[in-house]
A and B are shown apart, each in its own frame.
Chain A
Amino acid sequence: MLTEPLLSGITLGGIYALIAMGLTLQYGVARIMNLSYGESLVAACFAALWLFTAVSVNPLIGLLVIVPLAALINWLIYQVLLMPLVRRAPSRDALEVDSILATFGLLFVAQGLMFAIFGGNYFSYNFLSIPVQIFGATISASRLLALAFAVIIGLALYIGLTRTRAGTAIRAVAVDPVSALLVAIDVRATTAFAYALGGALVAAGGVLVSMFLTFNASLGVVFTMKALIVVIMGGVGNLLGCLVAGMILGLTETFVATYVDPGLTLAATYIIFILVLLLRPQGLFGARRS
């Protein structure tokens, strides 16, 4: 009885964690508070849908096309659109405000484009929606597969950031861009790379989500919101925090949807957010700010 919501809560939470990891890279390293983040996710959903229905490419193969493409697009967005803001900003705070405004504009452009192409209807497609029995609970195979991929991608990211040279450079820039410069890290290239990597992660999340979720062109805002809350709750720049916070959010939503009302999931998200703000604004795993 309890296992079913528990299981789907965990799958949802895993995906949320994956999505939030991308945002924590973009915000933690590049200091870009990307309000158009969810639009990248929805765009990836549509891309997966199109590949599946028009050219019958399965979404897991689709990942191989969509993820690098998303990285490239995000890299271009950073270099062309955001770099001028980085250059003109006198301080990190000023960059934060400017990036909020710019990506807010981007949100409406992206949403408008998708709306123009796909309209306001809801979409979904059937991929591996076979019921599977686990621990006496029924769950669709696509959800389980999505969770498995989220775990693999999340682990790869964690290892990449902690065990490789490029990963160390990214973490160094996140902590202190000025000092990073002093130890000969190309801060600009590293930042752009982290931003692109964040875009790649959210696109991966989008493809995985599209396998079991019904989506439309205006769903981006909600995902941005959830990713932001997970990032804040986990502590900016903290991957483990993303995982735990993502799980908390996924489980809460599933339980609220199952036992209270599906229409109140966002309200539940907000209550969690308010609790975090009141009790631990630095995040579950964030250090107190000096």
Chain B
Amino acid sequence: MSIRNSAFSAAMIALIVLLAFVPLVTNGYQLSLAINIMSYMVLATAWTLFSGPTRYVSLATVAFFGIGAYTVAVLGEELSWPLVLAIAFSIGFALSLIVGLSTLRLSGVYFVIFTFGLAELVRQLVTWYEVNVTRTLGRYIFIDVTHAQIYWQLLALAVIVFISGWLIQRSKLGLALRVIGDDEAVARHVGINTTLAKVVLFAFSASFMTLAGAIMAPRWTYIDPAIAFNPVVSFQVLIMALLGGVHRLYGPVFGVIPLVILFEVLLAKFPNHFSIMVGIAFLLIVYAIPRGIVGLVEGMQFSLHKAKGAKA
């Protein structure tokens, strides 16, 4: 390991320790904001983990997030917390395998369409189940957990997502995904099982989202399908990832922080026009900075580098 690598690792560890102290120095409102940021950090990074290299746009983030939340609502008081998380993870994993296996061997459009309606489908199924079987639409979540504990769990999950992403990037799977993103025909002809690679990665990405939903669930004391499967969440995650830049694992960080704060402000000031504002913000990003902030900065560095090279 080189000196630069060890210095980088030390800096990362220092950053994580520093972030762990956030609940001790913030007031309730700030902590709540920090929880939001951390939650979207996990979601947007998990989204990028799959959609960044493969360029398959997933619109189903909230389907998995909501499943995580519902798992807690149903089982949270009956089983121990680690077991609940393990179950949430498994459900997310199983559902994403079904989605992946039915769509990812085909071209990307089928995947987009499938994920586009998935949250709505799950929402309607949960609603149907609650109305017909349990006969109550909403559920109360009484789990003894402080906001600081929620924050710490999300921080730990974020660290796990980043480390997984980093390990995948350095692995053969990571290279396989980059080849697929560049040219799927070439990928198949160099011996990559493209469907398997995509399905595995999608399943991991979706399971992390499910875990985020499970950890966040106790923050609401009451959930119903409309709250847990709110499509705006999928949309926000997509915007954040795109604003940050999806071709680098750390890209979404630069989208999550400004946008969580912006959305917080918008929601407070324009509660009835929130969706319009978010839509416009999204369109601006798609048109003005298609490669995200990270892509923009790298592009500037690149042209600077070129200009210097030309002078020399």
B296 within 8 A of A: no
B193 within 8 A of A: no
Complexed CA–CA distance, A104 and B241 (Å): 15
A253 within 8 A of B: no
Contact B128 A225 (CB under 8 A): no
Size of the A side of the interface (Cβ < 8 Å), in residues, is 43
One digit per residue, 1 when the CB lies within 8 angstroms of any chain B CB and 0 when it does not, for chain A 222-234 equals: 1011001100100
Q: Which of A147-155, A161-169, A241-249, A260-268 is the interface stretch?
A: A260-268
Known: A96-B109, A105-B286. A112 touches B103 (CB 8 A): no
Q: Chain A residue with minimal CB distance to B234?
A: A104
Contact A104 B275 (CB under 8 A): no
Known: A263-B128, A267-B125. A221 touches B108 (CB 8 A): no
A273 within 8 A of B: yes
B5 within 8 A of A: no
B248 within 8 A of A: no
Complexed CA–CA distance, A112 and B282 (Å): 13
Q: Chain A residue with minimal CB distance to B119?
A: A221
Contact B116 A225 (CB under 8 A): yes
B27 within 8 A of A: no
Complexed CA–CA distance, A88 and B287 (Å): 10
Known: A100-B57, A112-B275. A35 touches B121 (CB 8 A): no
Residues of B within 8 A of A277 (CB): 102-103, 106, 110, 114
Residues of B within 8 A of A102 (CB): 283, 286-287
Q: Chain B residue with minimal CB distance to A109?
A: B279
Complexed CA–CA distance, A111 and B278 (Å): 11
Q: Chain A residue with minimal CB distance to B112?
A: A100
Selected contact of B124 from candidates A115, A263, A273, CB within 8 Å: A263
Residues of B within 8 A of A108 (CB): 232, 235, 275-276, 278-279, 282
Residues of A within 8 A of B279 (CB): 105-112
Known: A101-B57, A266-B124, A267-B125. A109 touches B131 (CB 8 A): no
Selected contact of B127 from candidates A221, A222, A263, CB within 8 Å: A263
Known: A261-B132, A263-B128. A278 touches B102 (CB 8 A): yes
Q: Distance (Å) between the CB of A221 and the closest chain B CB?
A: 6
B113 within 8 A of A: yes
Q: Distance (Å) between the CB of A271 and the closest chain B CB?
A: 10
Complexed CA–CA distance, A85 and B290 (Å): 10
Known: A109-B283, A112-B279, A266-B121. A225 touches B132 (CB 8 A): no
Contact A263 B131 (CB under 8 A): yes
Among A84, A105, A113, residue most surrounded by chain B Cβ atoms (within 10 Å): A105
Contact B120 A222 (CB under 8 A): yes
Contact B276 A116 (CB under 8 A): yes
Among B117, B120, B290, residue most surrounded by chain A Cβ atoms (within 10 Å): B117
Contact B242 A274 (CB under 8 A): no
Complexed CA–CA distance, A101 and B285 (Å): 10
Contact A101 B286 (CB under 8 A): yes
Residues of B within 8 A of A101 (CB): 57, 238, 242, 282, 286
Q: Distance (Å) between the CB of A119 and the closest chain B CB?
A: 9
One digit per residue, 1 when the CB lies within 8 angstroms of any chain B CB and 0 when it does not, for chain A 268-286 equals: 0010011001100100000
Q: What total of A-B pairs shows CB separation below 8 Å?
A: 114
Contact A267 B273 (CB under 8 A): no
Contact A104 B274 (CB under 8 A): no
Complexed CA–CA distance, A275 and B51 (Å): 25
Contact B102 A270 (CB under 8 A): no
Contact B283 A33 (CB under 8 A): no
Contact A84 B287 (CB under 8 A): yes
B272 within 8 A of A: yes
Residues of A within 8 A of B117 (CB): 221-222, 225, 228, 266, 270
Known: A102-B283, A281-B106. A115 touches B231 (CB 8 A): no
Contact A97 B55 (CB under 8 A): yes
Residues of B within 8 A of A84 (CB): 287
Residues of A within 8 A of B280 (CB): 105, 109
Complexed CA–CA distance, A96 and B235 (Å): 18
A98 within 8 A of B: yes
Complexed CA–CA distance, A116 and B270 (Å): 11
Residues of B within 8 A of A93 (CB): 108
Contact A96 B108 (CB under 8 A): yes
Complexed CA–CA distance, A35 and B238 (Å): 15
Complexed CA–CA distance, A264 and B286 (Å): 35
B59 within 8 A of A: yes
Selected contact of B283 from candidates A97, A106, A267, CB within 8 Å: A106
Complexed CA–CA distance, A110 and B108 (Å): 25
Residues of B within 8 A of A221 (CB): 116-117, 120, 231
List 7 extra interface pairs beyond A225-B117, A263-B131, CB under 8 A.
A96-B108, A104-B238, A109-B275, A116-B272, A225-B116, A261-B132, A278-B102
Which chain B residues have a beta carbon within 8 Å of chain A's beta carbons? 55, 57, 59, 102-103, 106, 108-110, 112-114, 116-117, 120-121, 124-125, 127-128, 131-132, 231-232, 235, 238, 242, 272-280, 282-283, 286-287, 290
The 6 closest A-B pairs by CB, nearest first: A112-B275, A112-B276, A108-B279, A109-B279, A263-B128, A225-B117
16 A-B pairs with C-beta separation under 8 A: A81-B283, A100-B57, A105-B286, A112-B274, A112-B278, A116-B273, A116-B276, A221-B116, A225-B116, A225-B120, A263-B127, A266-B120, A267-B125, A277-B103, A277-B110, A281-B106
